Chains A and B, each alone.
Chain A
Amino acid sequence: MMRNDPIKHVFIWPAVLVVLAISIFPLIYSLTTSFLSYRLIPPIPPRVVWLGNYIALLQEPRFWNAIFTTTLIAFIAVGLQYAIGFGVALALNARVPGERLFRVALLLPMLLAPVAVALVARMIFNPTMGPLNQLLGKFGLVNLPFLTNGHWALACIIAVEVWQWTPFIILMMLAGLQTLPEDVYEAAELENASAWQQFWGITFPMLLPISAAVVFIRLIESYKIMDTVFVMTGGGPGVDTETLTLFAYQEGFKKFNLGYTSALSFLFLIAITIIGVTYLALLRPHLEKRR
């Protein structure tokens, strides 16, 4: 039941005002800045260049490299997170032995500061003092260039992302699994459906809406990745692991190229929107079929 009372405005306006102030202000501000050629160092008075910044960016190989790197990290990391997370959630839901113990460890990684996690990762991936290299040394792989080779560094960043955010997927999938009705499984049991058939025929389709939402959230969040890369590799070696946010940071805070950075952040916003809309459009037919 909804009621109508003038006091509703007192309830909602503080939140609306704060969000408006902190999101619409900057939005307008950087939207207009993105059409200017505006530098702080060396100080040049702002000059209107219309789409000049955008065109310059689209012709910049470093921009495309950042897009490619970010996409690669986001898609591989989220794919792995989903596969591992769903598997672990299924096992936990089926009361695998030691489930209690695991639940405590479950939440930890996602509550830790990505910056601290990245520092710990740097220790573990350290070629001479890190435990990982000692372990791999037992298999005959010696001193792998974890963070100094472009491909390895990318793999390490993905590994850290997976480590940190798989718990989120486990948590959400576990919550979803607990809402499933038991009688469907009892019926399937009567028909002698194997565990594998039950999974593909019942569990997976019924969890599709939750899966879609969880993957969507993770994908959008992964595109914003910055802290981990900043600490682990700083975008290097060269620009091999430079993500979009890091690129924007370099342009904005190392070169103080304000118009350019604003244009970059808007291109980023457009890219995220396109990815989000495409993703939802691709999934919609599957989701509606199940309802």
Chain B
Amino acid sequence: MSGQGLTGLSPWSRRLVAAGVLAWCLITVFPLYWVVVTAFKTPPGVVGGPTYLPFIDFTPTLQPFIDLYQGIRGEFFRTFLNSTIVGLSAAAIATAIGAMAAYALVRFEFRVRLGAGLAFFLLALGGYLVFNNNFGFTRPQALLLAFPIALAVAIIANRLPLPGPILGNEDILFWFVSQRMFPPIVTAFALYLLYSEIGRLGFQLIDSYIGLTLCYVAFSLPIVVWLMRDFFEAIPIEVEEAAMVDNVPSWRIFVGIVVPMSMNGLLATFMITLAFVWNEFLFALFLTNSRWQTLPILVAGQNSQRGDEWWAISAAALVAIIPMMIMAGLLSRMMRSGLLLGAIK
């Protein structure tokens, strides 16, 4: 770490800078402190105006948490479980297949013809319209038919000497990452339509574990590929080359050598993905209604149920926040080892 900056400053401006940082720190911490204390207040302790210190200003109580656990304000326990299950599995799957893709993009050469990509999109769109309008298939049926056909044609087309530019690994990476630029409302709303029509065919995806997890995996993949690529690039290639001389197959190099070497990165990526999924609101709002509702939806619903019961709202918010506070503690340790350094290059 280079220690320039404050060295040239006078003692007074140094103090000023320190005060400024301290002020920002207080602003950061105060709202968190406020949830914690409010969650332990009794209703009179809240309504009587702001109070700050437990045992001095007000008498703390555990009642809000007991109410939560007993499900007086929505099925909290089960929602918490839902969030945990969906979060853990989506983060695990996304990290696994995202890491594989990132490794492939770092170590293998890919060439995709732009023409093949365009052919895929046009065939998928055109096939969908034709199947839907001319053959009388329902909309999801038409999509499910057109998609594999378009994919097969595109893969074949990629082998033909089509005119037009050839895209390499960098472009594929860009394609992955650019998925994050999409306003999620485009995807969320269309997914809702698609899921509900597939549901009409008898396969329920709305308010189901598979539907939600699948959506979160796709939603997290861009960031996993982006982060993991840097970890893999940082691994010295000599080890892999030595293994290749011994004719170790590629998948064993990956599982046996690369994965253990980048364990820190995988863990950090897993945690960041988990945080994204845990906090995600829009997709959960669209794609769940009762059985697989997640915490953010329940927490958001707290304010309209019986007016503003701040003690209960705080307890709910606190339950949603605490796992992430633990995560922040774990991540801030890893952060010191230059975790994000590679990601921004």
A residues near B, CB below 8 A?
1-5, 7-8, 10-12, 14-16, 18-33, 84, 87-88, 90-98, 101-109, 111-124, 126, 128-131, 134, 163, 166-167, 171-172, 175-182, 185, 189, 194-195, 198-199, 203, 210, 213-214, 220, 223-224, 226-227, 230-231, 244-245, 248-249, 252-253, 258, 261-262, 265-266, 268-269, 272-273, 276
In this assembly, does B5 line the interface, its C-beta being within 8 Å of a C-beta of chain A? yes
Query: In the complex, what distance in Å separates the CA atom of A90 from the CA atom of B50?
Result: 35
User: Is B303 within 8 A of A231, CB to CB?
Assistant: yes
Tell me what chain B mostly uses at the interface: helix, strand, loop, or mixed: helix
Question: Is the pair B331, A107 in contact by a Cβ cutoff of 8 Å?
Answer: yes
B196 to chain A, nearest CB (A): 9
A172: which B residues are within 8 A, CB to CB?
340, 344
The answer on a CB contact under 8 Å between B101 and A14 is yes
CB of B108 within 8 A of CB of A11, answer yes
Chain B residues, CB < 8 A from A123: 34-35, 38, 310, 313-314
Contact between B101 and A227, CB atoms less than 8 A apart = no
Compute how far the CA of A57 lies from the CA of B249 in the bound complex, rounded to whole angstroms: 56
Contact B143 A94 (CB under 8 A): no
Indicate if B73 sits at the interface (CB-CB under 8 A): no
B interface, size bucket: 35 or more
Whether B185 and A224, one on each chain, are in contact in the complex, defined by CB atoms closer than 8 angstroms, is yes
Q: A115-B296, A124-B31 are in contact. Are A32 and B129 (CB under 8 A)?
A: yes
**CB of B190 within 8 A of chain A?**
yes
Task: Provide the residues of chain B in CB contact with A101, threshold 8 Å.
Answer: 25
The complex places the Cα of A283 from the Cα of B319 at a distance, in Å, of: 43
Question: For the complex, is B53 an interface residue (Cβ under 8 Å from A)?
Answer: no
Does B320 belong to the interface (CB within 8 Å)?
yes
**In the bound complex, what is the Cα–Cα distance between A32 and B316 (angstroms)?**
41
Report the minimal beta-carbon distance from B281 to chain A, rounded to whole angstroms: 4
Assembled-state Cα–Cα distance A142/B124 (Å): 61
* B97 at the A interface (CB under 8 A): yes
Q: Are B193 and A95 in contact (CB under 8 A)?
A: no
- B256: interface (CB < 8 Å): no
Q: What residues of chain B have their CB less than 8 Å away from a CB belonging to chain A?
A: 1-9, 14, 17-18, 20-22, 24-25, 27-29, 31-32, 34-35, 38, 46-47, 49-50, 52, 97-98, 100-101, 103-105, 107-110, 121, 124-125, 128-129, 139, 143, 147, 151, 172, 176, 179-187, 189-194, 214-215, 217-219, 221-222, 225, 237, 241, 244, 249-251, 254, 275, 278-279, 281-282, 285-286, 295-296, 299-300, 302-303, 308, 310, 313-314, 316-317, 320-321, 324-325, 327-329, 331-332, 335-336, 338, 340-341, 344
**In the complex, residue of chain A having the shortest beta-carbon distance to the beta carbon of B197:** A29
Give the distance to chain B from A267, nearest Cβ to Cβ, in Å. 10
Contact: A107 with B296, CB < 8 Å?
A: no
Q: Known: A12-B101, A84-B24, A269-B183. Is A4-B6 also a contact (CB below 8 A)?
A: no
**In the complex with contacts A27-B186, A88-B24, A113-B302 CB distance below 8 A:** no
Query: Do A106 and B332 form a contact, CB below 8 Å, given A1-B237, A30-B193, A91-B21?
Result: yes
**Does B303 lie within 8 Å of A198, measured CB to CB?**
no
- B131 to chain A minimum Cβ distance, whole angstroms, is 12
Residue among A5, A14, A171 making CB contact with B100, cutoff 8 Å = A14
C-alpha spacing A24/B3, complex, angstroms: 48
CB<8 Å pairs between A and B, sample of 12: A25-B190, A30-B193, A96-B17, A112-B279, A112-B324, A115-B296, A116-B317, A163-B27, A179-B341, A249-B285, A265-B186, A265-B189
Residue of B nearest to A22 (CB): B218
User: Judging by beta carbons under 8 Å apart, are B324 and A130 in contact?
Assistant: no
Q: Tell me which of B32, B110, B325 contacts A12 (CB under 8 A).
A: B110
Q: Is the CB of B107 within 8 A of A113?
A: no
Closest to A135 in B: B50
Q: Do B189 and A103 touch (CB < 8 A)?
A: no
**Among B7, B187, B328: residue with most chain A CB under 10 A:** B328
Q: Contact between B101 and A11 (Cβ–Cβ < 8 Å)?
A: yes
